[in-house]
Amino acid sequence: MKENEYEINNVWQKIKPQEMEFIHEITTQITEIKFGEDTMIYEEQEFTSGNEWRFTDEAQDFYNQMYDEIESLYIKLIKTNKK
């Protein structure tokens, strides 16, 4: 299985951008609830002109795991069980 793809009746489908955004938003909210103030850090970029907020390493690992789990549930319960 490729990233953001799933199979229904031997036909490969791709998750749409708005579906990925939905999964991302849910996962981000769960991550923020779990880590609270320790979710994000402000990082100065040495080689680019911009600075940015990003997940802490621990929050990023959690986010990645939760995203995969939520995406799998979404595919299993919503995408593949359509009648």
pLDDT in tens, 10-31: 677 888 999 999 999 999 999 9
Task: Give the pLDDT confidence score for residue 8 in this predicted structure.
Answer: 66
Contact status, residue 13 vs residue 6, Cβ threshold 8 Å? yes
Tokens representing 76 are 């299993």
Q: What is the pLDDT of residue 46?
A: 72
CB 36, CB 55: distance < 8 Å: no
Residue 61 binned pLDDT confidence (cut-offs 50, 70, 90): very high
Give the tens place of pLDDT for each residue, 62-71.
999 999 999 9
pLDDT at 29 (0 to 100): 98
